[in-house]
């Protein structure tokens, strides 16, 4: 047997468990897994002592292009993803202008060509005007599906009228990804967001706003036969709703909602801890961990939403919500593996198998023969502090935190895109493909 590349003696996280094995790569695909000592390849990489994971699929990033490229663009965002072991991303529609029609989707696809270092797809934002066309548009090449904002966040996208929601929440080819906060309650409580007091952010956008919105969303989805995906879960109360909705509802949690909590995060970080939905009291983080261990959570996503230091330093509530995270997603969770809070196989399920399953990706998210050779090699013993100095926005809520477990090499379709904390090769990302035509 001959291959283009062989990864030897790594501990491979296969769908049925982990085992030491060799991986043979040919034509961008995983061609063989096993003992390949007699096989030949022009490049053979010794991975003894390293773990080999499927490349991460981050189904929740904001790359800010077009219109907001002083914060981030596709080149800088995908570079950070590659260095962090992420090989596929879904990018959100709240850019400027928002991605709400095929011409704007085509513009993003054009901007990504020869500039993205990882594979990609782009959500279409749901609006009152484009509802009649979304069943057709969600199937366009390069479209990740529909993003629904039930509560206003960064940007102008919003759809919260119950009649219109019923029209949207119908059986579709793709899941509808949802930002779930109740807009009416956010408007009623806006006065609780006190000037220069970011610690009031979770008081304004409280647990009840998330609960009411998710309750309405799940009721409409159940009634109309829609498949929904609830992004960045943040409350214990929502989890009780989800336990009864597993037949049609999946969910995501972010590292920041698992690892940061109020009031400490606001005391330490101020407006740099401000995100939507907010970081909340520690009981919610504990509940999210319990749900994760119980198998109630399907995906972990970064909600990578960068703003500049200058923007984040504005007095609350003029400060924008959001924080970067695509590059720290894997190291933060590997550190939780090192601490014994998460199993490595469970991390792979949340970061690769789960997103591929929920969104129906073709040939992605698994170490299996015939799948794309999207791999990340990780050193579970490596200790290093988070350093965001090379990123476009230049900061992280986890800056300086020493973590154990880091990616040391990333391959996209069999080609190195990052190695030893350095970018490799050219930007050759492509639109991901979906099983549902």
Is residue 281 classed exposed, middle or buried when 0-12, 13-18 and 19+ CB atoms within 10 A define those classes?
middle
User: What one-character-per-residue DSSP string does 177-235 give?
Assistant: EEE---HHHHHHTGGGS-TT-GGGHHHHT-HHHHHHHHHHHHHHHHHHT--EEE-S---
- 372 included as an active-site residue: no
CA 354 to each of CA 34, 158, 161, 436: distance values in angstroms, whole numbers, following the listed order: 24, 27, 31, 17
Evaluate whether 85 touches 409 at the Cβ level (below 8 Å). Answer: no
- CA 72/CA 291 separation, integer angstroms: 33
The residue annotated as part of the active site, out of 303, 372, 374, 379, is 303
Q: How far apart are the first and last CA of the chain?
A: 35
CA 327 vs. chain centroid, Å, equals 11
Neighbours of 323 (CB within 10 A): 26
Q: What is the DSSP letter of 393?
A: S
Q: Any idea how long the chain is?
A: 437
Residue 283 host element (H or E): helix 282-293
Active site amino acids: 303
């Amino acid at each position: 047997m001959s291959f283009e590349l062989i990864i030897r003696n790594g501990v491979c996280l296969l769908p049925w468990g982990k085992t030491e094995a060799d991986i043979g790569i040919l034509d961008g695909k995983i061609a063989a897994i096993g003992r390949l000592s007699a096989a030949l390849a022009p490049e053979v990489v010794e991975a003894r002592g390293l773990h080999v994971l499927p490349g991460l699929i981050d189904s929740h990033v904001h790359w800010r292009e077009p219109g907001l490229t002083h914060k981030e663009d596709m080149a800088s965002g995908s570079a950070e993803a590659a260095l962090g072991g992420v090989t596929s991303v879904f990018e959100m529609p709240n850019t400027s202008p928002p991605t709400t029609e095929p011409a704007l989707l085509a513009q993003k696809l054009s901007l990504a060509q020869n500039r993205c270092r990882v594979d990609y797809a782009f959500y279409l934002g749901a609006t009152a005007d484009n509802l009649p066309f979304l069943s057709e548009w969600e199937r366009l090449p390069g479209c990740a599906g529909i993003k629904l904002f039930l509560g206003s966040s960064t940007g102008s996208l919003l759809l919260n009228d119950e009649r219109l929601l019923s029209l949207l929440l119908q059986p579709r080819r793709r899941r509808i990804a949802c930002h779930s906060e109740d807009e009416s309650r956010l408007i009623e409580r806006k006065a609780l967001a006190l000037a220069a007091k970011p610690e009031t952010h979770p008081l304004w956008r409280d647990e009840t706003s998330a609960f009411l919105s998710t309750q309405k969303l799940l009721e409409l989805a159940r009634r109309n036969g829609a498949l929904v995906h609830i992004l960045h879960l943040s409350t214990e109360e929502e989890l009780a709703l989800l336990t009864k909705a597993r037949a049609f509802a999946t969910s995501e949690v972010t590292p920041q909602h698992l690892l940061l909590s109020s009031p400490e995060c606001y005391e330490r970080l101020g407006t740099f801890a401000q995100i939507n939905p907010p970081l909340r009291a520690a009981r919610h983080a504990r509940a999210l961990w319990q749900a994760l261990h119980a198998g109630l959570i399907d995906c972990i996503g970064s909600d990578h939403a960068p703003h500049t230091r200058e923007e984040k330093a504005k007095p609350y509530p003029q400060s924008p919500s959001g924080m970067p995270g695509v590059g720290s997603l894997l190291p933060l969770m590997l550190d939780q593996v090192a601490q014994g809070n998460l199993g490595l196989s469970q991390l792979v399920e949340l970061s690769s198998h789960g997103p591929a399953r929920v969104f129906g990706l073709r040939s992605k998210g698994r170490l299996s023969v015939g799948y794309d050779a999207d791999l990340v090699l990780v050193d579970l013993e490596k200790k290093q502090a988070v350093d965001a100095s090379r990123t476009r926005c230049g900061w992280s809520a986890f800056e300086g935190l020493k973590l154990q477990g880091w990616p040391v090499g990333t391959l996209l379709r069999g080609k190195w895109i990052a190695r030893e904390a350095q970018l490799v090769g050219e930007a050759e990302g492509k639109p991901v493909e979906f099983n549902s035509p």
